[in-house]
Amino acid sequence: MKKLSLGIIGLGGIAERLLPTFLKHARTGQIVGFDIDEERIQVMKKKFGIETVSDMDILINNKKIDAIYLAVPPKYHCNIAVKVMKAGKHILCEKPLAASIDEATKMYEVAKETKVIHAMNFPLYYGFAYSRIRELLSTNTLGAIKRIELSALYPVWPRPWQQTPWIDSREDGGFVREVFTHFIQLINASFGKIENISSFVEYPDNEHKCETGLIGIGELVSGVKVVFNGLCDVNQLGNIRLLIYGSEGSVELQNWRKLIVKTGEQEWITAGEMKDQSKSINTSYEVVNAFYEAIDGEKTRLVGFEEGLQVTKVVEKLLRKS
């Protein structure tokens, strides 16, 4: 079994969370990291024992590197990803795909042109919730779908654990890009594209800061409405909920991990919340494994740049950008 050499561009908090998965995977060989922050390079080098370089282009053009994990802020994705793909490297990109529809479109077009393996880090797609929702849909347990709602409340944004300079910027941050993106991808994968989007967005006086509130509505090809509602700076516990209402049953995904299903006369049933963590799905591992399988030419479940582009279109239209 040939091991794959991996380059990581961007050694911030997101990369730090995924690095242990790369290191544990049997297919991972050499790992070489790069960041513009020299202090951060040293922290990650000491913590994980990875090799590092101080020049991104040297990493991209290193013929021994098979693939790149791109974990920089969204506004930098396009230029770097294009370089990576034109250098013949496979790429796993953080979400959202880009901070604009034009840039996301360019990334997808270059991915098709270069024919490299291109993937997105959408762990929710690999978890129990998506699988359970697909099962309920395939068995028509929910009946006719009537409405889908995605809502989020945040007492403060950025969240306390995610204090990075870009996460609250209007240019490429905000909860719609950072959080809604995951659930929009799940909706797209389960029900098809969301179109005919209209929204009302609340922004603070500081023109550089991201949205503080959003009310939006979109429509599936079937005519089913998808409702979006997000609000920050409220005296509530942080909460994100995806609700799918059907004529015969309903599904609610709460805070990423808790799935509640109601059918017929039954009470609400909690499913998928694992007390025994040894039985939980390691979604990060599934993302990495699918990426490696695709590089090997195997048929696998991979979220590519085409899906990333479709999600970006929804996100940017919700933010009233085209």
Do residue 110 and residue 152 come from a single domain?
no
User: What number is the average pLDDT over the span 174-189?
Assistant: 97
- Residue 263 is predicted with a pLDDT of 87
* Sign of the torsion angle spanned by Cα atoms 90, 96, 99, 101: positive
Do residue 177 and residue 97 come from a single domain?
no
Structural domain contains residue 306: no
Do residue 253 and residue 132 come from a single domain?
yes
Judge whether residue 273 has pLDDT over 80: no
- C-alpha span between 145 and 3 (Å, rounded): 45
Q: In Å, how far are 85, 96, 118, 302 from 115, measured between CA atoms?
A: 8, 21, 8, 15
- C-alpha span between 32 and 9 (Å, rounded): 9
- Give pTM, 2 decimals: 0.93
- Structural domain range at position 191: 128-280
- Residue 296 is predicted with a pLDDT of 94
- Residue 26 is predicted with a pLDDT of 95
Structural domain contains residue 242: yes
Judge whether residue 249 has pLDDT over 70: yes
Model pLDDT for residues 27-51, shown as the tens digit of each residue: 999 999 999 999 999 999 999 999 9
Model pLDDT for residues 106-165, shown as the tens digit of each residue: 999 999 999 999 999 999 999 988 999 999 999 999 999 999 999 999 999 999 888 888
- Residue 73 is predicted with a pLDDT of 96
The pLDDT confidence band at residue 179, using thresholds 50, 70 and 90, is very high
The count of domains in the chain is 2
Do residue 107 and residue 148 come from a single domain?
no
- C-alpha span between 33 and 272 (Å, rounded): 35
Judge whether residue 72 has pLDDT over 80: yes
